[in-house]
């Protein structure tokens, strides 16, 4: 029987996930359908239960429901626990729901595998401290950067993330700090924009001179042309510029792998979406 999956969000009509997963299924000969479900802002849990009860196997969760999905799932992966956000649900035979977060793995794969830039030993600046930033923290740290600095307009939110990772000694080799000090004078090999500023064509403030020679500027948003952040990075001499399209396809591939135990080849899909 054909297995059913869906992405759920609000809004959802813009989502590329159905296209991506249909392409993955075709490429790997998996018998599945993947649709998009618009949930009312107050109706997320009901829509998930409806899909589960009707025999659905799993769901991707997007804005603004990732935290609700985290609360709904009763088995969570470590990276989802850290992120306090879930983008992948898997419905278990006993009626339980497994929640995972594949965003961070998607980002790390895009940088390391697709852009061929290793994170180990690098100085990383992560801009933003909302759901998108939290979602990528654990996989970034697991890649052993020399240093990871978080900056955010609202300092308190960055400090909360730092406090979470200071508990225990999982990442003692990595220095994490929310930027209470002035960033100017510091240089980074990789600067990642995880704020939602690009959505409103805004540029999160950054001092000049933070891009190290050969550095990568990565905007987790994507769209036509360069985002204001990538324009700024280009003007500041960042050597490589990337938007979040590769991350989108890689996080989808990781969800697909969790559900189907088959890893699709992401390259043809990235090329397809770029056209
Ligand atoms: P998401 O799930 O996309 O991360 P979010 O949780 O609302 O959405 O977080 C949005 C992030 O973008 C926050 O870090 C926010 O900064 P604040 O915590 O200070 O609100 C950041 N952000 C949004 N618009 C911004 C702007 N114009 N300049 C700088 N930061 C901005």
**pLDDT tens-digit map of 181-206:** 668 889 999 999 999 998 888 888 88
Compute, in angstroms, the gap from residue 199 CA to the centroid of ligand 1: 10
Indicate the length of the chain as a whole number.
275
pLDDT, tens only, 251-260: 999 999 999 9
DSSP state of 197: G
Indicate which residue's Cα is closest to atom 16 of ligand 1: 153
Indicate which residue's Cα is closest to atom 8 of ligand 1: 130
Averages of pLDDT over runs of 10 residues in the chain (275 residues) are 96 96 98 98 98 98 96 97 96 97 98 98 95 95 94 91 84 72 86 92 89 97 92 97 98 98 98 92
DSSP state of 272: H
Which pairs count as long-range contacts for 198-206, CB under 8 Å and 24+ apart, including other chains?
198/223, 198/227, 198/228, 198/229, 201/228, 202/228, 203/228, 203/229, 203/232, 204/127, 204/128, 204/151, 204/153, 204/229, 206/127, 206/232
pLDDT at 65: 97
| Distance (Å, whole) CA 116 – CA 139 | 16
pLDDT at 258: 98
Q: Please name the residues in contact with 202: beta carbons below 8 A apart, sequence gap of 6 or more.
A: 228
Q: Any residues with Cβ below 6 Å from ligand 1, and which? A: 128-133, 152-154, 157, 195-197, 202, 204
pLDDT at 183: 83
Nearest to 192 by CA among 132, 138, 146: 132
Cis omega (within 30 of 0) on the bond before 177? Answer: no
Residue with tokens 């979470």: 164
pLDDT at 179: 67
pTM of structure: 0.95
Is 241 in a helix, a strand, or coil?
strand
Cα Rg, the chain, nearest whole Å: 19
Q: Quick one: tokens of 253? A: 């591939």
DSSP state of 29: T
Q: Indicate if 122 belongs to the active site.
A: no
The strand pair at 58-61 and 88-91 is best described as: antiparallel
Indicate which residue's Cα is closest to atom 2 of ligand 1: 131
Q: Quick one: tokens of 8? A: 């759920």
């Amino acid at each position: 029987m054909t297995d059913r999956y869906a992405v759920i969000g609000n809004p959802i009509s813009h989502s590329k996930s159905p296209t991506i997963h249909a392409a993955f299924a075709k490429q790997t000969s998996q018998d599945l359908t993947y649709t998009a479900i618009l949930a009312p802002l107050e109706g997320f849990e009901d829509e998930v239960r409806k899909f589960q009860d009707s025999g659905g196997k799993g769901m991707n969760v997007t804005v603004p429901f990732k935290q609700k999905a985290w609360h709904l799932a009763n088995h969570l992966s470590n990276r989802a626990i850290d992120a306090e956000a879930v983008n992948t649900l898997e419905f278990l035979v006993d009626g339980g729901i497994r929640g995972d977060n594949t965003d961070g793995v998607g980002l790390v794969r895009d940088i390391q595998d697709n852009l061929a830039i290793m994170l180990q030993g690098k100085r990383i600046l992560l801009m933003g401290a909302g759901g998108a930033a939290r979602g990528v923290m654990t996989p970034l740290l697991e890649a052993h950067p020399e240093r990871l600095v978080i900056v955010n307009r609202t300092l308190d939110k960055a400090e909360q993330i730092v406090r979470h990772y200071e508990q225990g000694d999982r990442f003692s080799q990595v220095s994490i700090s929310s930027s209470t000090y002035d960033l100017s004078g510091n240089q980074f090999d990789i600067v990642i924009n995880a704020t939602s500023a690009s959505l409103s064509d805004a540029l999160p403030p950054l001092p000049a001179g933070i891009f190290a020679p050969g550095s990568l500027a990565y905007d987790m948003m994507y769209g036509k042309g360069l985002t204001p952040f990538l324009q700024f990075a280009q003007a500041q001499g960042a050597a490589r510029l990337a938007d979040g399209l590769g991350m989108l396809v890689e996080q989808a591939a990781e969800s697909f792998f969790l559900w189907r135990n088959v890893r699709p080849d992401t390259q043809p899909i990235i090329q397809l979406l770029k056209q």
